[in-house]
Amino acid sequence: MFTLTSIKKQKLIEKVNEKNLYVIGDKLLHHAFEEAVIKYHKELLKNIILQKNFKIMFSHHSTVYITK
């Protein structure tokens, strides 16, 4: 479970678009990874993007699906 604060959603969107993935769900517009979280969990994010279907559960009643 991630604890999130506000940050530019664009960074995560760019990471996803780089890999030609689709972001399902508009919850991404309301929550994004904090810069420090991106750096700290860089390896985890890489694994998430490599998987075909992966669900990220946010602590604020939001779920973002990253899927190929």
pLDDT tens for 23-60 read 444 344 334 444 444 444 555 655 555 554 455 544 34
End-to-end CA gap in the chain: 22
Number of domains observed in the structure of the chain:
1
Please state whether beta strands 22-24 and 53-57 pair in parallel, antiparallel, or not at all (unpaired): unpaired
Structural domain containing residue 22: 9-67
Examine the pLDDT at 2 and tell me if it is beyond 60. Answer: no
Q: Quote the pLDDT of residue 10.
A: 56
Q: How far is CA 27 from the centre of its chain?
A: 10
Q: Name residue 51's beta-bridge partners.
A: none
Cut 0.75: pTM above it:
no
**Hunting for tokens 């420090």 — which residue is that?**
36
Residue 3 lies inside a defined structural domain of this protein: no
Residue 4 lies inside a defined structural domain of this protein: no
- What does the pLDDT look like over 6-24, one tens digit per residue? 344 556 656 655 654 444 4
